[in-house]
Amino acid sequence: MFIVPFLICFPLVMAFLMFVIREKKLQAAIAYIGAAVIMAGAIVLFMQWLTNGSTRISLYGSEGMVDHLILAGELALMVLVTVLCFKYRKYWICLLSIIPTLAVAYYELTGPELKAMARVRIDTLTVLMVLIIGIIGSLIVIYAIGYMDGYHKHYKDVEDRRYYFFMLLFAFLGAMFGFVMTDSLLWLILFWETTSVCSFMLIGYTRTDEAINNAFRALWMNLLGGCGLSAGVVVFGYMTQLGSISGLVYQVVQNSDVYALLAVTLIAFAALTKSAQLPFSTWLMGAMVAPTPSSALLHSATMVKAGIYILYRLSPAMGGRATGTMIALVGGFTFLMASIMAIAQTDAKKVLAFSTISNLGLMVACAGIGKKETLWAGIFLMIFHAISKSLLFQDVGATENTTHSRDIESMHGLIYRVPKLAIFMFIGIAAMFLAPFGMLVSKWSALRAAVDERDIVVALLIAFGSATTAFYWTKWLGKIISPTHNVIHSEIKDITKPGENLSLTVHAVLMIALCIVFPFLSDTLVKGIVLDTYGSYAPVIPTMVLYSLVGIVVVVFLIPLIAWRIGKERKHNVKLAYMNGINTGTNTGFIDSFGNEKQLWMSNYYFENVCGEEKIMVPSQMVAIVAVIVMICMAIGGAL
Amino acid sequence: MGKILKFAPTIIKNLFSKPVTVNYPAEPYNYPERSRGHIEIDIDNCIGCGMCTRACPPGALKVNKNAGTWTIDRFDCIACGFCVEKCPKKCLFMVPGYQEPMPGKSEVEYKKSEEQMAKEAEQKRLQAERAAAAKKAAAAKAAAAKAAAEKAAAEKAASEADSKGQPSAAKPEAEKAEEK
Amino acid sequence: MGKRSVIPYGPQHPVLPEPVHLDLVIEDEKVVEAIPNIGFVHRGLESLTEKKDWETMQYVIERTCGICSFMHGMGYITTLEKIFDCEVPDRAKYLRTVWCEFSRIHSHLLWLGLLADAFGFESLFYQCWQIREKILDMVEMTTGGRLISSVNKVGGVLKDITPEMEKVILSTIDTMEKQLLEIKDTFFEDYSVQARTKGVGVLSKEDAYELGCCGPFMRASGIATDMRKMGYCAYGDIDFEPIVSNDGDHFARCYVRMMEVFQSFDIIRQAFSKMPGGEIVLPVKGNPNGEAFVRLEQPRGEAVYYIKTSGKKNLDRFRLRTPTFANLPGLAHILKGCELSDVGLAILTIDPCISCTER
Amino acid sequence: MAEIINPADVLIDIDVTELLPKVMEFKTNGYRISQACAAYINEKYELSYSFTDLNTYEFITLRVVIDVDTEVPSISEIIPAAVFYENEMKELFGVKIKMINLDYDNKLYRINAKAPLGPKEGN
Amino acid sequence: MGKVKRSPWLLHYDGSSCNGCDIEVLACLTPVYDAERFGVMNTGDPMQADILLITGSINSQNAEVVKQLYDQMPRPKVVVAVGVCACTGGVFKECYNVYGGADTVIPVDIYVPGCAARPQSIIDGIVKAVALFQERSDEHDALRKSGKNGRGEEL
Amino acid sequence: MTITSRVICVILYIILGPLIGGLLEGIDRKIAARMQRRVGPPILQPFYDVRKLFSKQVIAVNRAQTFLLMTYFLLMVVTGAMFFAGQDILLCFFILSTAATFLYFAAVVTSSPYSSIGASRELIQMMAYEPAVILTCVGFYLASGTFYVDKIAMSDSIYLFKMPGFFLAFVFIMTIKMRKSPFDTATSHHMHQELVKGLTTEMGAGNLAMFQVTEWYENVFLLGVVALFVLNSQWWSIIAAIVLVVIVYFAEILIDNTNARLKWQQMLKITWIFTLCTAGVNLLVLMLI
Ligand code: SF4
Ligand code: SF4
Ligand code: SF4
Ligand code: SF4
Ligand code: SF4
Ligand code: SF4
Ligand code: SF4
Ligand code: SF4
């Protein structure tokens, strides 16, 4: 399977090309081609896997050479991090890189000989991840080409380092491909650290103080996770002479090996940092300073999904064990708290970020409960979330370029001002929480699975979290469709580039299509994943029901259309809005206390005093820290 | 904090008692006797002095001494009763019963009866004569006595109408005004 | 613009009893800024002194407001009496006292009802107004008008209360008192009511003093001043103490007014038990000449009447400072920081009477 | 029997320049404003600022008689509660009051007529 | 369409009234008079109202408000002027800031005199207004049926 | 349940829903009036109102409102139809919340101050009742092992005894859903509200009528859920269900008339705490046994 190394290496080659070719046009052209090739590559892999009978494929049984290369790569990363830390005088952070890397190197070079294992394993989950990364990732790259143009026109004071940006994007994709395809824990560490460092560099793109601070925050949190991962790998390796993920899971599930469980706990801890769960959510918030494509990439297809991916891999090992319970708890708690914090945000990207954290929380909870049903729900959550979040980030970015603001309050009446972007935004947001979109159904099955597992706390957290989630999305949607009350803003030219449009359209179409092929997806990919992971499959929602769901989906889609048709027939007399009898003749203002015209302004509710990030971030971090510490202590206690 | 459903006993009690609602307009309302409803005039007794017009706060009254008319705009009258207090002849009365709502505003004009006009003209003539010839004072006295008797009769009539206290006492005039 | 909304509140708004307007800046629903605007009811009736003589003016001034119409008429007449320096018969003084208290009861019951309505307690509102109707019936029985009584005259009153009427009044008051005791508990003890009134719209004693507030609004902030203590009408002979509360919130204002209704019942009973017989009006001659201030305790607080005249039929200047006018700064003060749902309630708790405020 | 407190009203004539010091003095002595009004009599403005003591029920009026053109300083800086009184005097009488705290600029009542209670223009 | 007169919804706006008529209007809705017997509902929203009750006179500031509220009401609609002030300006008609009765700014259909207008009078006024409302509604329907003015066009 | 009986149920719901809903409202208004010692409107008053509204001139601030309201209406009918066809109850509530979202849109699409604030409050109300709704479904699932309405209704036990906490929570949030005091923050049928007419401020004529009818459908659906608490395969359970529905409805009227309107903060807090204390505890008990 040549395609496997190709998918890992080609993006790296592209990254290099991006770095050397600085001529804008050429660079863009190559980037387009590269993105297309990556997308094609992902599809090719999917095809090959299908033709191979959709079964697990193991490759590269003994690759000592490559293992050493990988180790060298890790060391190189360590050096890079150390240099950067010194450059920006964040000395202590480099310790988080140096210690685990050296520990791993020491273990690698002097530790026990590992039993034979496949370095690469292609199973259904991998294929799904490759598809997500390949398709959404490349679309983001395509989008970014157009976006960065607008971005640098808008932010003149930011140095134009597009080559650097695209280099990182491609490198990121390569690392992600590697991450989801490998079964070797050692390889995993390298790809893990690579994504950490890439995201760190992406966040620092603008090189403002804020960007640099946030970048380092992201770095240390992710490196801390890296420490956990490395520690887990080392402990596991020493105790069992195994070095693969599948081996790890096997040890726990079949042998109830306490050391393996400790390793699982540590790796799960690492996943918490990567997936920006409480108490590590702040890095993802800080990542917002970077240009939007990088946010889109971090939030949808890559980075945070890496944490989720690894948790899904480990979920059989966690189900029914203390680690799983605590992970589920942290996830559920994050789901609720992040959605509450999202309420207080006006910055669209921040809302998206909190929503990402929140939804990841749900996925983490699914993984933590670790049953077939939850995995089923979790996978759907991941798919739908990846697409809609990517769509939303891109759309918010495009909107920001067009209207020069990404404040939700200033999106008032967007549908009248920039209809196209508003419609995409509408689809993206609706997909996040409204019936009939998949996110809601997945949430429903997650709830159901939690109940089946008698996990009362998670069930409660989901019940309350759904309510808060619906709140912030709905008010945003409302903002888009309410007519503008300031005339000045209404004259706006949509400057969205064709590339951006292409990417947005594909996302939106994909989103709607997935709602309809939902049952099919369930029967193929998702079923395969559950089978791969648990060896058996019992659909949470029977396929029959899924098909009837699709029927309802169609009905629910059709209803607004029918209503729209009928509504159009009706003739209306348009009247002034009610303003206590003192309109000024338009709906934009009223006569104020001094007899002058005053502009009406309606703003949404934010509950800053209750839901503000400042108010509840720290307390919820505290709770989560306690949960995480308890989890690790229990695992260590169990091991000793 | 307080108790909940504190009001429940009251409304349950209400639920099982008779409503206090008066069944107006199906059943007419009985106005108390002092009720300041509308102004009635014993026009034949009016001397057209205009005291009432000058007193009337909204200016709802018009008097034409020569034509023998007294006009009230019932859509302007605030039923204050000041004119009644001011009228030197005590020929104005405040009686219960209200002017009905109408689709248009209208004034009601009261005109002295022909005989009264004639009588007054006669009186005037007599007075003039008396002024001219002071010796005919006795005749004037007789006329004054007659006037007093008439007034008493009018008052009696008015109080009869008063005691009936029908709500639409003002209807006829209003309808009359409508027709105009 | 951030997270703030800018909206109009009034003049037409169902919670507002009368047309006033506020420019509201709210955040979520917390009021950040509230600028009041009045003038929707301004007629300019003080200028009518140029056109109407001092006797006719009484009927205009009674219509400054339909709620304490009697008090306005009486205030005007009392000021003239002060200028004339004429003595009013004792019986007239007692009669005036009774009618004053009628005004207070009907005004406070009306207010209690509207307050209930403003915090969304419709049944309670109906209950209050149902009780209130009895007062109006008694006012009509004694004066001939439900709201506007027109019974004052310089030197006394025009109508007497007959012994039969007295009997009816006393027994009606007893039933009213019983009914009111029932709803008193709801106002004072019900959880949902307390949730809306306790600790909301607090006006401290210092602020109440500083901002020139008056009436129950001020007494609810712990200042025990009541113009009736100055002994006008027959109040000098009547035993009562101003009702105060110290919390200064909506609840306290509700408490003060509710208790004042009970006090009024008591005052009416006292008045009837002490009422002398005799004349109800003494005639005066000529036109007034001079100037005088008179202060009365209206249901809403202290009203100041000022007349300046120079012996002509028309007054030189008539001036009416109404309680709501004095309470406006206090209102602006409590509006800030309250919730949008409380805006109507806050406006109500000062028991505004915009029509007399703007005249 | 309850005591009756009924002190006689006091009227003090002062010059416009004395206004602010006097008001300041009242304020420090614990009086508060009860009313303020204007009257246009004999082609002069008579401004009355009444102060009262809530315990003794005293009622003291400061009377300032000024020409139509005289400017009057606002007392709203010292006594915020006077804002609406002063706006009213300004709008209805045309008294030239300077520096009101919250100046509605003759739009408190938003009437069409200009200073209807003040000097009649053109007559 | 059938009888709409069973459901007249009121919008009450208080112009420059002295509150006298204003509170009597409110009193009509309270238990003793209970206008809801006739299906009356007091809505604060012009958009939903059928009958506009105006109390008090019109002055420089509320003229616009009254006009606007009237315009915001959907057809068919009826205006009732309650009290002498709303009919003619009453005692205040000579004040400098009073334009006069409600008919100085909008067409008034029913005049309810009285100062203050009694609840009985107001109920009489409403009953008359309801009859008028039915009439106008029939006209409205006829026009709509005739199809010349498509639904919702100016009637 | 056979297909035919399902279809019959749905058709009955579509036809009888508004009739029963309207009648209930009429009775509600009558009883409320009597509680206030008034005579009150005729029982058929709600129908008169709706008929009148449909005959009025169509006015709107924003034309889109009609389409959004119609979506709200249709989705509500779909919700109820699915419920009475014996479908998944959780799904019903999900579609219900989508319907409610469209109501929110219909209110904000005017950008008018009171309508928008009312809409925001509606959203808060949704946030307040959503957990209780979801938990009630979960409760049914735990008690009966299925989310299917028909299976729940045709079982052998009375779930009310197993899930009293959920029942209380559901009745509690019905106060919000039915726009009854003390939780009628978004809009209110009482005559004076701080938000004028709340989220219905800009709905006039036909649009308001549509809103009204949708509310009737919704109430019938909600009362159907209440009935589900006692319905089982026995014939007498139908009578028991009717009795329960009547009791609940009367309780709502009583609550409506004995409470002041709370502020949304208080509403949210009380509802969530109450939900946790009733449904949450019940959930715990059910999960443990
Ligand atoms: S009908 Fe006219 S005259 Fe009679 S009481 Fe009423 S307002 Fe006065
Ligand atoms: S005051 Fe009496 S007598 Fe004189 S005009 Fe009037 S009604 Fe006639
Ligand atoms: S009141 Fe008498 S004196 Fe004065 S103008 Fe009128 S009629 Fe003449
Ligand atoms: S009752 Fe008053 S308003 Fe009516 S006519 Fe007599 S004086 Fe004029
Ligand atoms: S009192 Fe005598 S003088 Fe005066 S108006 Fe009457 S009749 Fe004439
Ligand atoms: S406070 Fe009284 S007078 Fe003023 S509007 Fe309300 S009810 Fe009418
Ligand atoms: S305070 Fe209000 S009720 Fe009392 S007199 Fe003044 S306006 Fe009328
Ligand atoms: S008609 Fe009379 S009661 Fe009515 S508002 Fe005018 S003055 Fe007041």
Six-digit token string for E133: 């409302």
CA distance A172 to A56: 25
**CA of F255, closest CA in chain B: separation in Å?**
7
Q: How far is D104 from chain A (nearest CA, A)?
A: 6
Query: What is the DSSP secondary-structure string of A179-222?
Result: HHHB-BHHHHHHHHHHHHHHHHHHHGGG--HHHHHHHHHHHHHH
Sign of CA dihedral F14, F20, F25, F28: negative
- Among protein residues, the one with the nearest Cα to ligand 4's atom 7 is B56
Determine the distance separating the centroid of ligand 4 and the alpha carbon of B57, expressed in angstroms. 7
**In angstroms, what separates the C-alpha of E34 from chain C's closest C-alpha?**
10
How far apart CA A318 and CA A331 sit, in angstroms, is: 13
Q: Which DSSP string corresponds to C100-147?
A: HHHHHHHHHHHHHHHHHHHTT-HHHHHHHHHHHHHHHHHHHHHHS-SS
Which structural domain range is residue C248 located in? 44-357
Rounded-to-integer distance, Cα B80 and Cα B96, Å: 13
| Between residues B68 and A39, the one the model is more confident about | A39
Segment of A422-436, A519-533, F169-183 carrying the highest mean pLDDT: F169-183
Residues of A with CB under 8 A from a CB of E: 570-573, 575-576, 578, 580-583
Helix (H) or strand (E) holding F59: strand F59-60
What is the per-residue pLDDT across A220-234, written as a single tens digit (0 to 9) for each?
888 888 888 888 888
Give backbone dihedrals phi and psi of A335, rounded to 5 degrees, phi first.
Answer: -55, -50
Just give the CATH number of B29-112: 3.30.70.3270
| Residue whose entry in the numeric block shows the structure tokens 């190197």 | A105
- Lining residues, ligand 2, CB within 6 Å: B 41, 46-52, 63, 70, 87, 89, 91-92
pLDDT tens per residue, range A243-277: 788 888 888 888 778 888 888 888 888 888 888 88
Q: Do chains A and B touch (3 or more CB pairs under 8 A)?
A: no
A491: pLDDT strictly greater than 70: no
How many angstroms away from the CA of E95 is the closest CA of chain D? 10
Report the range of poorest mean pLDDT among A422-426, A437-441, F48-52, F213-217.
A437-441
Lowest mean pLDDT among A63-72, C183-192, E114-123, F279-288: A63-72
**Coil, strand, or helix at residue F135?**
helix
Q: Which chain E residues are within 8 Å of F40, Cβ to Cβ?
A: 34, 36-37
CB contact under 8 A, E61 and D116: no
Confidence of residue D74 (pLDDT cuts 50, 70, 90): confident
Nearest ligand to the C-alpha of residue B87?
Answer: 2
Parallel, antiparallel, or unpaired: how do β-strands E41-42 and E9-14 relate? Answer: parallel
Measured from the Cα of B92, ligand 2's closest atom is: 7
Q: Which residue's alpha carbon is at the smallest distance from atom 5 of ligand 1? A: B38
Contact E124, B101 (CB under 8 A): yes
The DSSP symbol for D38 reads E
- Residue C194 and residue B1: Cβ atoms within 8 Å? yes
Q: What is the pLDDT of residues C319-352, one digit of tens each?
A: 888 888 888 888 888 888 888 888 888 888 877 7
Whether the pLDDT of residue E154 is over 60: the answer is: no
Q: Which two tokens stand for residue A225?
A: 């996770």
CB of residue C148 inside a 6 A radius of ligand 6: no
Q: By the 8 A CB rule, do A521 and A363 touch?
A: no
Report d(CA F117, CA F111) in Å as an integer. 9
Is-contact A603 A412, C-beta < 8 A? Answer: no
Alpha-carbon distance of C299 to C102, in angstroms, equals 10
Q: Can you give the pLDDT at residue B169? A: 41
- Give the number of whichever ligand sits closest to the CA of residue B88: 5
Residue D113 Cα, ligand 6 centroid: separation in angstroms?
27
pLDDT of residue F98: 86
Give how far C27 is from chain F: nearest CA, Å: 11
Torsion angle of the four alpha carbons A181, A184, A187, A191, in this order, in degrees rounded to the nearest 10: 40
pLDDT of residue F247: 92
Which residues of chain D lie closer than 8 angstroms to A595, CB-CB?
Answer: 107, 110
Q: What is the CATH number of the domain that holds C117?
A: 1.10.645.10
Residue closest by Cα to atom 8 of ligand 8: E18
The candidate with the shortest Cα–Cα distance to F113, out of F188, F190, F186, F198, is F198
- For chain F, domain boundaries: 3-288
Give the chains touching B; criterion: ≥3 Cβ pairs < 8 Å: C, E, F
- Residues F133/F93, Cβ–Cβ less than 8 Å: yes
* Contact in structure between A362 and A434 (CB atoms under 8 Å): no
Which residues, listed in sequence order, are joined to residue C294 by a DSSP beta bridge?
A: C305
Q: In the structure, which protein residues have their CB atom closer than 6 angstroms to any atom of ligand 8? A: B 78; C 63, 66; E 17-18, 20-21, 55-56, 83-85, 90, 115-116
Residue D120, CB half-sphere, CA atoms under 13 Å: how many?
Answer: 7
Query: Hey, which chains touch E, using 3+ CB pairs under 8 Å?
Result: A, B, C, D, F
Are F70 and A604 a contacting pair at CB < 8 A?
A: no
- Distance between CA atoms of residues C39 and C33, nearest Å: 20
Query: Mean pLDDT, chain F, as a whole number?
Result: 86
Give the Cα separation of D39 and D33 in Å (integer): 18
Among E17, E23, E26, E88, say which to mutate for ligand 8: greatest number of ligand atoms within 8 Å of CB: E17
CB contact under 8 A, D110 and A595: yes
Determine whether the interchain pair C63/E32 forms a contact, defined as Cβ–Cβ distance below 8 Å: no
Cβ(A614)–Cβ(A351) under 8 Å? no
- How far is F81 from F75, CA to CA, in rounded Å? 10
B6, F258: Cβ pair inside 8 Å?
yes
The length of chain F, given as a count of residues: 289
Does residue A555 register a pLDDT over 60? Answer: yes
Q: Which residue carries 């409304």 as its tokens?
A: B11
Give the pLDDT band (50/70/90) at residue F186.
confident
Handedness of CA A549, A553, A556, A561 (dihedral sign): negative
Rounded Cα distance between A165 and A171, Å, is 10
Query: How far is residue A295's CA from residue A303's CA, in Å, rounded to a whole number?
Result: 10
Does residue E55 carry a pLDDT above 80?
Answer: yes
pLDDT digits (tens, 9 = 90+) for F111-133: 788 888 888 888 899 889 989 99
Total length of chain D: 123
- Residue bearing the CA closest to ligand 6, atom 1: C17
Backbone angles phi, psi at B69, to 5 degrees: -115, 155
CB-nearest partner of D84 from C237, C239, C325: C325
Which two tokens mark F200?
């219905």
The radius of gyration of chain E from alpha carbons, rounded to an integer in Å, stands at 16
B86 CA closest ligand 4 atom index: 7
What whole-number distance in Å separates Cα of residue C69 and Cα of residue A164? 82
- Residue pair D74/D97 in contact (Cβ under 8 Å)? The answer is yes
Q: Which of A50, A188, A58 minimizes the C-alpha distance to A528?
A: A50
B49 C-beta closer than 6 A to ligand 5: yes
Per DSSP, helices labelled H in A404-455 are: 414-417, 419-433, 438-452
Q: Which residues of chain B have pLDDT under 50?
A: 161-180
Scanning D75-114 for CB atoms below 8 A from C yields 79-85, 92, 102, 107-111, 113
Residue E155 has pLDDT above 50, yes or no: no
**Other beta carbons within 10 Å of A22:** 13
pLDDT in tens, A358-411: 989 989 988 888 888 888 888 888 888 888 888 888 888 888 878 888 888 888
Chain C residues whose beta carbon lies within 8 Å of the beta carbon of residue F265:
339
Dist. CA A506–CA C159, nearest whole Å: 88
pLDDT tens, residue by residue, E62-99: 888 888 888 888 888 889 998 888 888 888 888 888 88
- Identity of the amino acid at A377: A
How many independent structural domains does chain C possess? 1
Question: What pLDDT is stored for residue C206 in this prediction?
Answer: 84
Judge whether C159 and C143 are in contact, CB under 8 Å. Answer: yes
Q: How many CB atoms lie within 10 A of CB D86?
A: 28
Give the highest mean pLDDT range of A54-68, A143-157, A561-575, C127-141.
Answer: C127-141
Residue in C closest to D84 by C-alpha:
C325
Taking the Cβ of residue A604 and every Cβ of chain C, the question of whether any pair is shorter than 8 Å is answered with yes
Give the torsion sign (CA, B169, B171, B176, B180).
positive
Range A466-477 average pLDDT: 89
* Crossing angle between the packed helical segments C163-189 and C90-118, to the nearest 10 degrees: 30
What's the confidence (pLDDT) of residue B139?
A: 64
Q: Which of C4, C112, C115, C123 to mutate to test the interface with F (most CBs of F within 10 A)?
A: C123
Vertex C127: Cα angle to E56 and E37 (nearest 5): 65
Give the angle B102-B108-B114 at the CA atoms, nearest 5°: 150
pLDDT in tens, C256-297: 989 899 989 988 888 888 888 888 888 877 778 888 888 888
Which tokens sit at C155?
């030197």
The domains found in chain D, sorted by start residue, are: 9-98 (3.30.460.80)
Query: F254–B5: do the CB atoms touch at under 8 Å?
Result: yes
Residues C274/C147, Cβ–Cβ less than 8 Å: no
List the domain boundaries for chain B. 29-112, 117-171
Q: What's the pLDDT score for residue B138?
A: 67
CB contact under 8 A, C196 and F258: no
* Residue F260 to residue C120, Cβ atoms within 8 A: yes
The pLDDT-based confidence of D99 (bands split at 50, 70, 90) is confident
For residue F273, the model assigns a pLDDT of 92
> Cβ(E90)–Cβ(E116) under 8 Å?
no
Q: Which residues partner with D49 through β-bridges?
A: D36, D62
How many angstroms separate the Cα of B180 from the Cα of each of B73, C293, E88, E110?
A: 14, 50, 20, 18
Closest residue by CA, ligand 3 atom 5: B54
Asked whether the beta carbons of residue F33 and residue B15 sit closer than 8 angstroms, the reply is: no
First to last CA, chain F: 30
The answer to whether the beta carbons of residues C319 and C46 sit under 8 Å apart is yes
* Cβ-based contacts of C62 with chain B (< 8 Å): 80
